């Protein structure tokens, strides 16, 4: 009596699990299909039943189990399936039945595509297009949109056209997943499923981390692995990870590993692999939680690396004795910078990177520091791999002694001019009318003396001299032996009268 009571308590006391087919319950003959039994948290035993008979049993501590049917056959596998889950001595009720349809002799598969960015933003509208090949025997067909993890089709559209559109309005994180489409004729003949189209709508889960192995920079043809890892505070188990590339309309790869990280291989790296990558993780089951994208990770191939740039402060032209700082800028993962000078075989300076650049100080420069400089940076931890040098930067150091000579020459000229003016003023008589004109208008000065030769009496200012002698001292004539009068500019003249 007691054993009978125990047996009755052990059966049907747990909530029934959920059974679904991936990619779809409509399977083409010879293809593989996965039946997933999703139990309550803590479930560790699962059974798959076919037409009332136990087909397979699994132990799994991840609250669900996958039953893979390989190379399905219409007469062997096109049946009704149920599952149940167990926890300790208890078993759940049976799931709702799942009818597996095996299609023989399928029509050619359609193509599912979209113009939108498949890494979408919440509350935006996305349109998916499904197109079929042109077949003369087909008139009207019905297109069907499927989402992985659902038993029933999302949308159906009958049409005589070669394509149709499926609108997803105001998408949310629960719309994240793999989408496929198919079409069938009026007689019921089905096509193959299209290739999967992965849609990702980021949500509120904490963002994962993305790292590169063996490093962010590899040589052409070398393999690289990008690892996406959930944060420690994330409680989502057996998540699906998706790798994204910035600027690409479609996710690159998706995985559903058993652990908390996924490895995405990038084989035989080439120039087209260079770029910024991110990743997300999400649950394919309710409540359809999706993470924020990881921080972008920039990867490079050595023959596509950015060239460094070299700049000078305070400038490329300085005077002797000044301090000049040369800045070499490179990518964020550069570890060391070096400075070269044309004509010098050895490296002038080498330093560790600081804030994506190197700073090289040239103290108390002299004309011998003039020349063409360039710089380069080291790639990660590879001490033998350096990026090609930057474009040359020409540094010009002027000798400060030349400036002193120019200043002294100007001072001497002004002193000489003052002495000449003083001599002319002292040579004439007080009663003699002397007029002096001094010109300084942006160029060499002209000294002009106007003197009345005969009259010694005072000449009133209102009267105009009847006879005047002009004398002009043109400083420009002191520098040139010959001057072309046609090319000599006309200079303004300021007249002053002295008594």
Dist. CA 428–CA 451, nearest whole Å:
9
Do 384 and 453 fall into the same domain?
no
| CA pair distance 218, 499, nearest whole angstrom | 91
Residues 86 and 131 both lie in one domain: no
Our CA angle for 341, 347, 349, nearest 5°, is: 90
Find all residues with CB under 8 Å of 490, minimum gap 6, and list them: none
| Secondary element (H or E) of residue 7 | helix 2-10
The gap from C-alpha 45 to its chain's centroid, in whole angstroms, comes to 47
Residue 74 lies in a domain: yes
pLDDT at 201: 82
Count: domains in the chain: 5
Cβ-count burial of 360 within 10 angstroms (0-12 exposed, 13-18 middle, 19+ buried)?
Answer: buried
Specify whether the CB–CB gap between 37 and 83 falls below 8 A.
yes
Quick one: 227 and 282 in the same domain?
Answer: yes
Q: Which domain holds residue 340?
A: 313-398
Q: Is 365 a domain residue?
A: yes
Whether residues 90 and 143 share a domain: the answer is no
Residue 427 has what pLDDT?
61
Residue 418 within a domain: no
- pLDDT recorded at residue 213: 92
Q: Point out the domain boundary residue: 140, 165, 199.
A: 199
Rg (CA), the chain: 45
Q: Report if residue 406 sits inside a domain.
A: no
**Boundary of a domain, candidates 103, 131, 153:** 103
Q: Do 58 and 97 belong to one domain?
A: yes
User: For position 470, what pLDDT does the model report?
Assistant: 47
Does residue 485 sit in the same domain as residue 439?
yes
Supply the pLDDT for residue 381: 56
Q: Are residues 70 and 43 in the same domain?
A: yes
Give the list of residues 6+ apart from residue 268 with CB closer than 8 angstroms, or none: 221, 222, 223
Q: How far apart are CA 304 and CA 289, in angstroms?
A: 38
pLDDT score of 45:
92
Residues 366 and 385 in one domain: yes
With residue 477 as reference, give the H or E element that holds it.
Answer: helix 475-479
Which CATH number goes with the domain that contains 60?
Answer: 2.60.40.10
- Check residue 235 and give its pLDDT: 64
How far apart are the C-alpha atoms of 252 and 245, rounded to whole Å? 7
Q: Is 90 exposed, middle or buried (0-12, 13-18, 19+ CB in 10 A)?
A: middle
| Chosen domain end from 199, 221, 240 | 199
Residues 10 and 98 in one domain: yes
Place of tokens 């999703």: 38
pLDDT at 444: 42
| Within-domain flag for 417 | no
Whether residue 408 is contained in a domain is answered as no
Q: Which among 120, 177, 172, 129 has a CA at the least distance from the CA of 150?
A: 177
Say if residue 160 is in the same domain as residue 238. no
Residue at 254 is within a domain: yes
Q: What is the pLDDT along the chain (499 residues), one digit of tens a residue?
A: 444 334 434 455 788 999 999 888 888 777 789 999 999 888 889 999 999 899 999 988 788 999 999 888 877 899 999 999 998 889 999 999 999 988 777 788 999 988 776 777 778 889 999 999 887 667 789 999 999 878 889 999 999 999 999 999 988 888 888 899 999 988 778 888 999 888 888 777 888 999 999 888 888 888 999 999 998 877 677 788 999 998 877 788 988 888 889 999 999 998 888 899 999 998 867 667 788 889 999 888 877 778 889 999 999 999 998 999 999 988 777 778 999 998 887 888 888 887 778 889 999 999 999 999 999 887 665 555 666 788 999 999 988 765 556 666 777 778 887 877 777 677 654 433 344 444 433 444 444 444 444 444 444 444 444 444 444 445 444 444 444 555 445 444 444 444 3
DSSP code for 469:
E
448 domain-assigned: yes
Say what the pLDDT of residue 478 is: 46
**Same domain for 382 and 441?**
no
Beta-carbon contacts of residue 441 (< 8 Å; ≥ 6 apart):
491, 492
């Amino acid at each position: 009596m007691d054993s009978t009571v125990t047996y009755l308590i052990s059966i049907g006391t747990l909530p029934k699990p959920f059974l679904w087919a991936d990619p779809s319950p409509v399977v083409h003959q010879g293809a593989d299909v996965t039946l997933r039994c999703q139990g309550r948290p803590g479930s560790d035993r699962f059974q798959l039943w076919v037409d009332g008979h136990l087909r397979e049993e699994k132990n799994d501590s991840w609250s669900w189990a996958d039953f893979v049917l390989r190379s399905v056959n219409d007469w062997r596998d096109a049946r009704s399936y149920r599952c149940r889950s167990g926890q300790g001595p208890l078993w759940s009720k049976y799931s709702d039945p799942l009818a597996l349809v095996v299609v023989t002799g399928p029509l050619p598969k359609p193509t599912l595509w979209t113009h939108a960015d498949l890494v979408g933003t919440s509350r935006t509208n996305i349109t998916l297009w499904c197109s079929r090949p042109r077949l003369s025997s087909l008139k009207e067909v019905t297109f069907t949109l499927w989402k992985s993890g659902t038993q029933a089709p999302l949308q159906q559209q009958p049409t005589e056209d070669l394509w149709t559109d499926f609108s997803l309005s105001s998408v949310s994180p629960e719309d994240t997943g793999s989408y496929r489409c198919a079409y069938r004729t009026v007689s019921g003949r089905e096509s193959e499923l299209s290739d999967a189209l992965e849609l990702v709508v980021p949500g509120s889960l904490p963002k994962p981390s993305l790292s590169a192995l063996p490093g962010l920079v590899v040589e052409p043809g070398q393999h690289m692995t990008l690892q996406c890892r959930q944060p420690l505070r994330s409680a989502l188990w057996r998540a699906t990870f998706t790798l994204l590339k910035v600027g690409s309309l479609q996710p690159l790869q998706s995985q559903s590993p058993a652990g908390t990280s996924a490895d995405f291989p990038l084989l035989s790296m080439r120039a087209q692999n260079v770029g910024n990558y991110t990743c997300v993780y999400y649950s394919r089951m309710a409540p359809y939680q999706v993470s924020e994208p990881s921080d972008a990770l920039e990867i490079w191939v050595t023959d596509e690396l950015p060239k460094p740039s070299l700049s000078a402060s305070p400038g490329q032209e300085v005077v002797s004795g000044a301090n000049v700082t040369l800045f070499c800028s490179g990518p964020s993962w550069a570890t060391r910078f070096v400075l070269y000078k044309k004509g010098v075989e050895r490296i002038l300076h080498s330093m560790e990177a600081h804030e994506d650049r190197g700073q090289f100080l040239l103290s108390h420069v002299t004309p011998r520091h003039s020349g063409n400089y360039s710089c380069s940076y080291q790639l990660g931890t590879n001490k033998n791999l350096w990026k090609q040098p930057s474009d040359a930067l020409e540094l010009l150091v002027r000798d400060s002694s030349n400036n002193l000579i120019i200043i002294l020459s100007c001072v001497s000229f002004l002193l000489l001019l003052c002495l000449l003016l003083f001599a002319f003023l002292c040579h004439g008589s007080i009663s003699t009318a002397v007029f002096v004109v001094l010109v300084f208008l942006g160029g060499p000065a002209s000294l002009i003396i106007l003197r009345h030769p005969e009259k010694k009496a005072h000449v009133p200012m209102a009267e105009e001299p009847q006879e005047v002698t002009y004398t002009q001292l043109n400083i420009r004539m002191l520098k040139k032996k010959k001057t072309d009068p046609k090319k000599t500019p006309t200079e303004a003249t300021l007249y002053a009268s002295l008594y």
